[in-house]
Amino acid sequence: MASFTFFYLHALLLLSLATITFSHDLSPSFYNHVCPQALPTIRCIVEDAIKQERRMGGSLLRLHFHDCFVNGCDASILLDSTPTIDSEKNAGANNNSARGFEVIDRIKFEVDRVCGRPVVSCADILAVAGRDSVVALGGPTWEVKLGRRDSTTASKDTANSNLPNPLMDLSKLIENFKNQGLNIKDLVALSGGHTLGFAQCFTFRQRIYGDKDIDSKFARQRQANCPMNGGNSSLASLDPTPAYFDAKYFKNLVKKKGLLVSDQALFTGGQTDDLVQLYSRNHGAFSNDFAKSMIKMGDIKPLTGNNGEIRVNCRRVNYY
């Protein structure tokens, strides 16, 4: 009897989803009438999660970024492995690194509860949580365009090929972002997201032991917690204030204190030097361009209309 009740309720749930009319265009007002409580609920949970652990803000922002660069902003990064899904969580850039999934689970549960049904996609939750994390840590706000739907597939291989590598030089970074429809200004502005968060030792070991284009004192300080062998998961902040959205990431680049090879690549005498200089001096310019580039990134190949689905559980596809 319990089994019958579960499947009956699940069928009703999916039927209710089928009655929702979805637009083919993203809009900041997408949920205004469907569920006006959705965005305030997301904001409250994000703020609470960051209050408990300020590092979580950078982690949630990174989830949105790592989602969008793999077949578009479709919440594919949230899917767990199954016999038919090769989870992106196991890709090199995400394995033992991507975090914040439990916060997304909590948001999904609470949003569905206040909305009375699963009407808000996991992809939109990622986009809004990324914005709210930046705001909670002192950064700019922007209107998040909404109405994305969730993918029913994931691709570890695509994640491995599409996500920027911490060892990339400037030409490869430019090409990587161009493949996503993003230009050089987007590259520099979005790289500024590294004003938040940390990196693991194995991602910057080559830089602090092998690079000549690095401040020697900075290198020695990082070597203290990142030995030549072992300690792969030891953390170092990506800028001096990893829980505050500021311009110190760019100030560090000018001083040859970028933590990753791909960070310092933005200031090595190339075509991005002027933007790095500007952002290092003008926090307002950085904040403004970052917000614009986040909106642009959120437009990468979204699923809309009848494409994809609204997942009941962000970690699993729905079963009809």
Catalytic residues: 66
Query: What are the DSSP E strand ranges found in the chain?
Result: 198-200, 235-237
CA–CA gap between residue 42 and residue 182 (Å, rounded)? 27
- Give the bridge partners for 236, in sequence order: 199
State the burial class of residue 14 (Cβ atoms within 10 Å of its Cβ: 0-12, 13-18, 19+). Answer: middle
Single-letter amino acid, residue 111: V
Residues 6+ apart with CB under 8 A from 265: 168, 169, 170, 173, 258
Distance between alpha carbon 106 and the CA centroid of its chain, in Å?
Answer: 17
User: Which of 286, 287, 243, 247 is closest to 137 using CA atoms?
Assistant: 243
> What is the sign, positive or negative, of the torsion defined by CA atoms of 99, 76, 159, 91?
positive
Angle (CA) 220 223 224, round 5°: 95
CB atoms within 10 A of CB 284: 10
Angle (CA) 25 28 30, round 5°: 65
| Cα maximum dimension of the chain | 70
Residue 132 contacts residue 142 (beta carbons within 8 Å): no
CA–CA gap between residue 119 and residue 9 (Å, rounded)? 16
What 3-state DSSP class applies to 289? helix
User: Which of 314, 318, 249, 262 is closest to 67 using CA atoms?
Assistant: 314
Q: What does the block give as tokens for 34?
A: 């469907």
